[in-house]
């Protein structure tokens, strides 16, 4: 499967996202990745994690909801995974998620990945992707293996091109009680004035488009 980004369509999709979600500061905060996942958890939920690494997220999910059916995909064959090649993935899933993955791909490769994943999402399923928040001053630049930076509106536009509808976004910020008070209440005006976010990660929640 070979896809090439149509930049005019990307621009149009970005405008759609910005019209619905005009500011990073309107995006709700969560403390951890699990807060994004756990609202979907139910008995026998079928989950696929892409870029699963050591599967620690799967372990956390199974601890919270033992009856979920968890599968993992990763190209690293030094660890156990259910799938090592995206074309070998089988079955449908109610939730597919990948954290800290899309930024390691070129935009075209990212589009190919999420387009292929769409074939494995159930009718009412969800795709959740997380990436370093580009409004944070240095979060993205802390890893030399990062290839593509995404603002939330760019991430949203890419999933639209991949055949999804954007449901919403989240921002991750987890710190001590004192620092949360400082950031969220005392210094928030300065962050907004400088347009520098303290949240380290952004997540997009998407569903298969009914127009496809």
Distances, alpha carbon 129 to alpha carbons 40, 103, 191, 195, in Å: 14, 10, 25, 23
Q: How many helices (H) and strands (E) does the chain have?
A: 7, 7
- 3 pLDDT band (50/70/90 cuts)? low
Q: Is the pLDDT of residue 5 over 90?
A: no
Beta carbons within 10 angstroms of residue 201's beta carbon: 21
Full-prediction pTM beyond 0.85? Answer: yes
CB distance 135 to 25 below 8 Å: no
pLDDT at site 75: 95
- 211 pLDDT band (50/70/90 cuts)? confident
Distances, alpha carbon 20 to alpha carbons 15, 84, 119, 158, 187, in Å: 9, 36, 26, 15, 26
Q: pLDDT tens digit string along 54-94?
A: 999 999 999 989 999 999 999 999 999 999 999 999 999 99
Angle between helices 7-20 and 152-161 (to 10 degrees): 120
């Amino acid at each position: 499967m070979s896809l090439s980004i149509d930049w005019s369509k990307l621009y149009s999709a970005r405008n759609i996202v910005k019209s619905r979600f005009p500011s990073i500061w309107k995006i709700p905060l969560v403390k951890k990745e699990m807060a994004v996942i756990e609202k979907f958890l139910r008995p026998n939920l079928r989950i696929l994690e892409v870029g699963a690494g050591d599967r620690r997220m799967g372990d956390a999910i199974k601890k919270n909801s033992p009856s979920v059916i968890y599968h993992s995909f990763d190209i690293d064959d030094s660890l156990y995974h259910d799938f090592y090649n995206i074309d070998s993935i089988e079955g449908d899933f109610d939730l597919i998620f990948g954290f800290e993955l899309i930024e390691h791909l070129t935009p075209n490769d990212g589009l190919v990945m999420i387009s292929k994943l769409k074939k494995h999402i159930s009718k009412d399923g969800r795709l959740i992707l997380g990436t370093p928040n580009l409004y944070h001053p240095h979060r993205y630049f802390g890893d030399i293996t990062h290839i593509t930076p995404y603002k939330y509106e760019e991430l949203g536009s890419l999933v639209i091109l991949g055949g999804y509808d954007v449901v919403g976004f989240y921002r991750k910020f987890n710190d001590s009680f004192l620092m949360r008070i400082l950031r969220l209440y005392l210094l928030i005006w300065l962050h907004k004035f400088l347009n520098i976010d303290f949240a380290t990660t952004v997540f997009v929640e998407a569903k298969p488009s009914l127009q496809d």
